[in-house]
A and B are shown apart, each in its own frame.
Chain A
Amino acid sequence: MESGDMIQDRMRARDAAMRLLNRLTAGAAVSAVVGVGLLGAIGAYTIPGTASTSTSTASSSSSTSSSSGLQTSTTPVTSSSSSGVAVSGGS
């Protein structure tokens, strides 16, 4: 048979454990929220993703294409002074 003091001690120990459980749960929740932000930031720093890729694509494409989307010719364009040829038909 347990004495009153022993029962009181067990109740106090249980209350203390419950408080510890609540603190640990709250701590884990806060840590997890902070973790999402922190790990997301680390991920963004290490692999920033689309931002840098699109910039490089834009800069590389601008060097090879004109504003109208036509590629510049690497061979020089020369003008022809010969007489025109009439073409009929076609659609």
Chain B
Amino acid sequence: MNNALLWYATRGAGAVSLVLLSAVVVLGILSVLRVQSTGWPRFLTVGLHRNLALMTLVFLALHIITAVVDPFTHLGWLAAVVPFSSHYRTFWLGLGTIAFELLLAVVLTSLVRGLIGQSAWRLVHWLTYACWPIAVLHGVGTGTDAWSAWLFTLQAICVVAVLAAIAYRLMAGSRDPLARERSSFLAAVDRREER
């Protein structure tokens, strides 16, 4: 395959992976908030979140494979697995490796959620909040097109979307449908223990 084509594919797949990952993060936050309507049941948000997360891994694999086999950078497979082991843009590529491994951990633990239990799964799932900004930094630092108008706009849209979702999450608080019942039950237990 033409080396230039590999390089263009790496850049395209990287940009698409960032968009998909941002969409996954936004959908994850919306699923926590239990967002739903008449034509949009809650399981639709969760299902789309899961499907897009798997799709992100596929395009991330394309991004990594095309980058590794591109003879210009001579990255080698070790750089794709061990962070900061690349001679080429060591720090920024290392961030990309870390983001990929965090995402891999999040997706794999989600697939075996039934085996590892809810609390362990939730703990690992919080890594997404580290994975996404690291991936953005990797794109800004490593990306050939990082300061091109088109990619800058794309990154800005992703950042604004995720920050807006996080802000909405923080403002909305818990959407636990049983929150009131739980708190009244705990209050009743506390009153009983005080007697």
Contacts and interface: CB of A to CB of B under 8 A. Distances in A.
A37 to B, nearest CB: 7
A21 B48 contact: yes
A20 to B, nearest CB: 6
A36 interface: yes
A29 B4 contact: no
How large, as a class, is the contact surface on chain B?
Answer: 20 to 34
B165 interface: no
Interface stretch (A43-51, A60-68, A69-77): A43-51
Given A32-B55, A43-B148, A21 B8 contact: no
Contacts of A48: 4
Contact of A36 (B16, B48, B72, B150): B16
Nearest to A38: B12
A44 to B, nearest CB: 5
Contacts of B43: 17
A51 B9 CA distance: 16
Contact of A39 (B16, B40, B51): B16
Nearest to A43: B11
**Interface residues of chain B: helix, strand, loop or mixed (majority):** helix
Contact of A50 (B3, B44, B151): B3
A14 interface: yes
Given A14-B41, A17-B41, A46-B150, A39 B15 contact: yes
Given A43-B144, A43-B148, A36 B51 contact: no
10 contacts: A17-B39, A17-B44, A21-B44, A25-B55, A40-B9, A42-B150, A44-B8, A46-B148, A47-B148, A50-B72
Interface of B: 3-4, 7-9, 11-13, 15-16, 19-20, 23, 39-41, 43-44, 47-48, 51-52, 55, 59, 62, 72, 144-145, 148, 150-151, 154
